[in-house]
Amino acid sequence: MSEISKNDADELREADLAESSSDETVFIELLFFAYRDFVSDPDALLQEYGFGRAHHRVVHFVARNPGISVAELLDILQITKQSLARVLKQLVETGFVQQQQGAQDRRQRLLFTTEKGEALFDKLREPQSRRIKNALSGLDARDRAGAERFLSYLINEDERSMALRLSNAVDR
Residue type at 106?
A: R
Q: Return the pLDDT at 1.
A: 47
User: Could you tell me the pTM of the whole model?
Assistant: 0.80
Q: Does domain 6-137 have CATH number 3.40.630.40?
A: no
Please write the tens of the pLDDT for every residue from 112-121: 999 999 999 9
Ranking 23-27, 90-94, 129-133 by mean pLDDT, the lowest is: 23-27
Report, as an integer, the average pLDDT of 71-82: 94
Query: What percentage of the chain exceeds 70 in pLDDT?
Result: 85
Listing DSSP states for the chain in one string gives -PPPPHHHHHHHHHHHHHHHHHHHHHHHHHHHHHHHHHHHHHHHHHHTTT--HHHHHHHHHHHHSTTEEHHHHHHHH---HHHHHHHHHHHHHTTSEEEEE-SS-TT-EEEEE-HHHHHHHHHHHHHHHHHHHHHHTT--HHHHHHHHHHHHHHS-HHHHHHHHHHHTGGG-
Q: Which residue has the higher pLDDT, 67 or 16?
A: 67
